[in-house]
Each structure stands twice: as C-alpha cells, then as structure tokens.
Amino acid sequence: MKILLGFLAGFALGVAAGLILAPQSGEATRAQLSEQGIMLRDRSSGLSDEIRARATNALSQGRDIYARTKDELTETYTKAKTGQE
C-alpha cells in the first residue's frame, strides 16, 4: 500500500512540476509540432526523390554490367565450343 501511495504522490508531483515549469503553452507547442511536421514532410519528399534517382541509376548500371558479362560469357563459350582460344 505504501508503494502505491508513493507512486501516486510522485506522479502528482511530476504532473504539477510539468505544468508549472512548461516552457510554452499548449497552443504554441501544437503550432511548433505542426511546423516541424511540415518540415519533415518536405525533407522526406526530397529524400525519396534522391533515393529514387539513385535506385534508377544503380539499376541502369546493373543492367549494363549484366549485358556486358553475358556477351563476354557467350563469346567465351562459343570459342571454347569451337575449340578456339
């Protein structure tokens, strides 16, 4: 029982201290959170565009390497099959 009373007293003191020492009003906090949300959305939009561009570039490079390797292996196989070196 003492533990429960101690917990409730600590909780009440924490809430009271939070209300007294709050740096700004709830309205100001909501406005700040809204502004930060907009900034985060803008950043994430720019980041997704950058990631998409990098992925497209990597895919293109991968296709080029695949095509080159396939051609080299086909040529090597053909030479080996016909007995040429």
- Any idea which residue has 């990631």 for tokens? 51
Side chain identity at residue 16, one-letter code: A
Q: Is residue 62 part of a domain?
A: yes
Give the C-alpha separation, 83 to 49, whole Å. Answer: 51
Evaluate whether 38 touches 32 at the Cβ level (below 8 Å). no
Q: Whose CA is closest to 51, among 59, 41, 62?
A: 59
Average pLDDT over residues 55-79: 95
Q: Is residue 42 part of a domain?
A: yes
Q: Is residue 72 part of a domain?
A: yes
DSSP, residue by residue, 4-50: HHHHHHHHHHHHHHHHHS-SS-HHHHHHHHHHHHHHHHHHHHHHHHH
Which tens digit of pLDDT belongs to each residue from 2-31? 787 788 888 888 877 777 777 777 788 788
pLDDT for 40: 81
Q: Is residue 85 part of a domain?
A: yes
| pLDDT above 70: residue 77 | yes
Which tens digit of pLDDT belongs to each residue from 46-62? 778 888 899 999 999 99
Q: Give the total number of structural domains in the chain.
A: 1
Residue bearing the bigger pLDDT, 31 or 73: 73
Q: Is residue 51 part of a domain?
A: yes
- Structural domain range at position 55: 30-85
